[in-house]
């Protein structure tokens, strides 16, 4: 992992964000030569913590709700990809 002084993060935060987002390699932020924080991309954070995405579009929510209703009724379940296609077709 690459280390970077806190002052450089402060002065070039956008560049640091691009580096962790595009390269997926974390940056260890140091102050006075000691690590104080780690800058990672959100997808890496999700992998580390097991956190689920906090955002979903409305059509994804509708597809998941419809899929759950069908599953509870005991009917054969349509794959989510097909449900999404149907919703897109209906909404034009």
Q: What are the structural domain ranges in the chain?
A: 2-49, 58-91
Residues in the chain: 92
What per-residue confidence (pLDDT) applies to 30?
96
Q: What is the pLDDT of residues 3-32, one digit of tens each?
A: 999 999 999 999 998 889 887 789 999 999
Q: Which CATH number fits domain 2-49: 3.20.20.70, 3.90.1150.10, 3.40.1620.10, 2.40.37.10?
A: 3.40.1620.10
Phi, psi of 31 (to 5 degrees): -130, 125
CA distance 57 to 83: 14
Share of the chain above pLDDT 90, in %: 32
Q: Are 38 and 28 in contact (CB under 8 A)?
A: yes
Q: What is the pLDDT of residue 49?
A: 83
63-78 confidence digits (pLDDT tens): 777 777 777 777 666 6
Mean pLDDT over the full length of the chain: 82
Residue 19 to residue 41: CA distance in whole angstroms: 9
| Between residues 35 and 78, the one the model is more confident about | 35
């Amino acid at each position: 992992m690459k280390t970077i002084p806190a002052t450089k993060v402060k002065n070039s935060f956008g560049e640091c964000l691009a580096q962790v987002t595009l390269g997926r390699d974390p940056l260890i932020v140091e102050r006075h030569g000691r690590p104080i924080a780690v800058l990672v991309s959100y997808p890496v954070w999700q992998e580390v913590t097991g956190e689920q995405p906090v955002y979903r579009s409305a059509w994804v929510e509708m597809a998941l709700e419809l899929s759950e209703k069908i599953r509870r009724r005991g009917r054969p379940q349509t794959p989510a990809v097909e449900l999404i296609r149907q919703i897109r077709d209906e909404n034009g």
